[in-house]
Structure 1
Amino acid sequence: MEAMAAIELTDNEFLRQFEATFDGKMAKMEYSAQDRKIFLTKIVMPAGTEEHMNDFIIAVFNEVKEREISLVPTSPEIAKFMRANRRKYKRLLPVGINI
């Protein structure tokens, strides 16, 4: 597995989505913020950039961790990633939430 390239993550608060560019195309992860939680509701990967989805999710998870808030993955793809990496990211989930 090759090292993850640095991803320039943008938080577009107006559209409530994280954005990153892969191969000249913009990927988006929509969210809804409430109290000290962020609900990750949808991920959109442009055609041809799907192989970067895990890197994008990791970048968003790291951003959430830096903000010291909890995340709730409501998108099926993000929840699947969380389940596959439960040990590493379990602390990001709010108390009482199991994925």
Structure 2
Amino acid sequence: MEIKDNTFARQFETIVDEGLVTVEYSFQEKKIFLTKINVPDDFDDEIFISNLLKNIMAIAIERKFKVVPILPKIVVFFKKNPVYKELLPPGIRL
């Protein structure tokens, strides 16, 4: 899966057959706040979204960022994948 970090639009982007999938973020003090997932109208592949989020977690690990999940769907991802809980900043409990 190829993910582009579009820093101008503040979103991670990847292409699927149906169109563009994006995960919007904001950045503050070595923390990345994941705020929104945008998918094409006919797209509902939850496994793909989970894999996309895993790839974004790998980027966060590589860049030594903490991750703050704002969107409920991303909170659920953290609950289903406790291996990534180390990326949460101190004081964030799910």
Name the TM-score, length of structure 1 as normaliser. Answer: 0.86
- The offset of 1:47, in angstroms, is 3.0
Aligned residues: 92
Contact 1:27 1:46 in 2 (8 A): yes
Please name the residue that 1:46 is paired with.
Answer: 40
- 2 CA distance for matches of 1:13 and 1:92? 21
Deviation at 1:61, TM superposition (A): 1.0
Please state if 1:67 is matched with 2:63: yes
Letter in 2 for 1:43: I
Secondary structure, aligned partner of 2:2:
coil
Cα deviations across residues 5-25 of structure 1 (Å, max 9, x unaligned)?
xx1011111110000111251
Which has the larger displacement, 52-61 or 33-42?
Answer: 52-61
Structure 1's unaligned 5+ residue stretches are: 1-6
What is the RMSD computed on CA atoms of the aligned residues? 1.2
Q: Deviations over 1:10-60 (max 9, x none)?
A: 111111000011125110000000001000000112134321111111111
Query: Identity over aligned residues, as a percent?
Result: 39
Q: Could you list the runs of 4 or more consecutive aligned residues of structure 1 that deviate by over 6 angstroms after TM superposition?
A: none
Question: Contact 1:45 / 1:53 at 8 angstroms: preserved in 2?
Answer: no
